[in-house]
Structure 1
C-alpha cells in the first residue's frame, strides 16, 4: 500500500499563512515605509533612471552653489582634500552644482554668502548613475557608496573661492527656502 502523496502549498498559500500567523498587529513598522522608499530610490538610480528623492532622513542633504569657474575650483580642491570629491551633480540649465552632504547638515548650516544648504522637506532628482555628461543634470563627481561631501571643508572652500552668482535669489524666486 502506498502513502498518499503530500501536497506542496503554493506561494500564495504560504504568504497567506504568514500573514495570518502574524497576529492582529500586522501593521508595518513606522520606519519600514521610509526603508521601502529608500530601496525603491536606490534601485531606480541603479537601473539607470532619474529618480526624485526626499532630502534629509538617512540619505543626504544638499548644498547648492553656482557651477562657474570658482565652483569647479572648489570641486578640484575637494578632490585633493577627500582623495576624490564626494558626489556632486551639475545642472547646466540652472547653472548650479548640487553637493551631496551628510544628512542633518541643513539644520547646522549657518547662512553662507555663496551657498544654500537644503534638507527635509525638500526633494532632488538624482540623475541615473550612467549620466556623466550633459544634456540635463549629470554626475560631475559620481556617487560613491562610501562618502558624501564633508560640510566643514566645503564651507571653507566656498568662502575662499566665492562662486558666483549665488543661488539665493533664484531659490527665493522659486519659493525654495532653507
Structure 2
C-alpha cells in the first residue's frame, strides 16, 4: 500500500468520528430536564398525589386572589366566558384562589390592585386530581383542556374587586420588605 492511497476507516471509527463531530447537537437538549420534570409531575398528579411544581416554563403561571364571594363570582364570570372556567385551586386555610394562567403571563401582567401573577422561580403544590374539597388546597375548578385567559380574568377581578388583596400576605410569605 502506498503512502498516497486513501485509508478507509472501519465502521466503528466512522461512527466515532460522526459522534465527535456532532458536538453540542449530541448533548441532551437543555429543556429535556424540564420535560422530564414535567412528565414526573403530571404522573404524580394523575396517580392522585399532591406534587410541587415550578411555575413558568411551558406549563403555566399563577394568578393569586383572595377567595370569597367576589372571587367566586369571578369564577362564575369565567365559566360564562370560557364555557367552563379553566383550572382554579382553592386554599381555604390561606384564603386564596390560584388561577392557572398561560406561561409567560407574568411578563405581561400589569400591577393589579386585587391580584398578583407569579412565575419562576416560585412553585405551587398541585393537589391530586381527586381532591375537590378541604382540608388543604383542592381543585375548585379542574380543567385539563385550557388555562384561564389573563385578559378576561384581569377585567373580571378589576370589576368584582375580591378582598382582602393578597399583596401584603404574599410579600410577608416571600420575605419581601418595602
Asked whether the two chains share a fold, i.e. TM above 0.5, the reply is yes
Once residues 135 and 175 of structure 2 are traced to their aligned partners in structure 1, the CA distance between those partners, rounded to angstroms, is: 24
Q: How many residues align?
A: 157
Alpha-carbon separation, structure 2, partners of 1:90 and 1:176: 23
* TM-score for the superposition, normalised by structure 2: 0.84
CA contact (8 A) 2:85 2:143 kept: no
| Aligned equivalent of 2:123 | 123
CA shift in 2, pair 1:40/1:65, >3 Å: same
Corresponding residue of 1:169: 168
* Equivalent position SS for 2:174: coil
Q: Whole-Å Cα distance in 2 between the matches of residues 130 and 44 of structure 1?
A: 12
What is the SS of the residue equivalent to 1:28? coil
| CA apart distance, 1:23 | 4.1
| Cα separation, 2, equivalents of 1:23 and 1:127 | 44
Aligned to 1:40: 40
Partner of 1:154: 153
* Aligned counterparts of 2:115 and 2:105: Cα–Cα separation in 1: 13
Deviations 1:113-133 (A, max 9, x none): 000000111100000011011
CA distance in 1, matches of 2:133, 2:33: 33
**1:29 shift after superposition:** 1.8
Larger-gyration structure (1/2): 2
1:10-159 matches, within 5 Å, as: 23=19, 27-144=27-144, 146-159=145-158
SS at match of 2:97: strand
SS in 2 for 1:52: strand
Structure 2 segments unaligned to the other structure (5+ residues) = 1-15
Distance 1:107 1:174 in 2: 21
In structure 2, distance between residues paired with 1:31 and 1:64: 27
Give the CA deviation at 1:143: 3.0
Separation in structure 1 between the aligned mates of residue 97 and residue 63 of structure 2, nearest angstrom: 8
Unaligned runs of 5+ in 1: 1-19
TM-score (norm 1): 0.84
Extract structure 1 runs of 4+ deviating beyond 6 A.
Answer: none
Q: Aligned partners of 1:88, 1:153: CA distance in 2, in Å?
A: 15
